[in-house]
């Protein structure tokens, strides 16, 4: 599925993203199992984290802002089971970043 679909809709004001159910259905199986991207997304969800070490695929500030807004919206959803949220978030990260970053807590 093209990257455009991952980041084509709008985040909801109170969490969620307008096409989250569609993304959960289309999420590649590799993200629905133990996967470095999904594991990192889970750490961000449960532990928070500092994202200053992210290496973005895009240099365009608007693209990065849009992708991050969709990612945050997805992490904030109450509409998906946690395992689906984690899988789609990992998939999003794999399209946003060039490599899985080291998890750095917010306090570091």
Give residue-wise pLDDT tens across range 17-27: 999 999 999 99
H/E run at residue 63: helix 61-75
Rg of the chain on CA atoms, in Å = 13
Quote the pLDDT of residue 10: 85
Nearest-angstrom CA–CA distance, 29 and 48:
25
pTM of the model: 0.91
φ, ψ at 32 (rounded to 5°): -95, 5
On whether the CB atoms of residues 88 and 94 are closer than 8 A, the answer is no
| Angstrom distances, CA of residue 71 to CA of 15, 20, 37, 93, 108 | 10, 11, 13, 8, 22
Please report the pLDDT score of residue 107 as a whole number. Answer: 62
């Amino acid at each position: 599925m093209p990257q455009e679909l991952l980041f084509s809709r709008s985040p909801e004001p109170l969490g969620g993203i307008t096409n989250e159910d569609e993304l959960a259905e289309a999420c590649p199986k590799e993200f629905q199992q133990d996967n470095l991207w999904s594991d990192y997304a889970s750490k961000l969800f449960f532990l928070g984290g500092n994202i200053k070490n992210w290496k973005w695929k895009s240099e365009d500030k608007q693209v990065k802002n849009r992708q991050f807004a969709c990612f945050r919206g997805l992490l904030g959803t109450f509409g998906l089971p946690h395992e689906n949220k984690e899988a789609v978030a990992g998939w999003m990260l794999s399209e946003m970043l060039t490599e899985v970053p080291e998890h750095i807590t917010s306090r570091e």
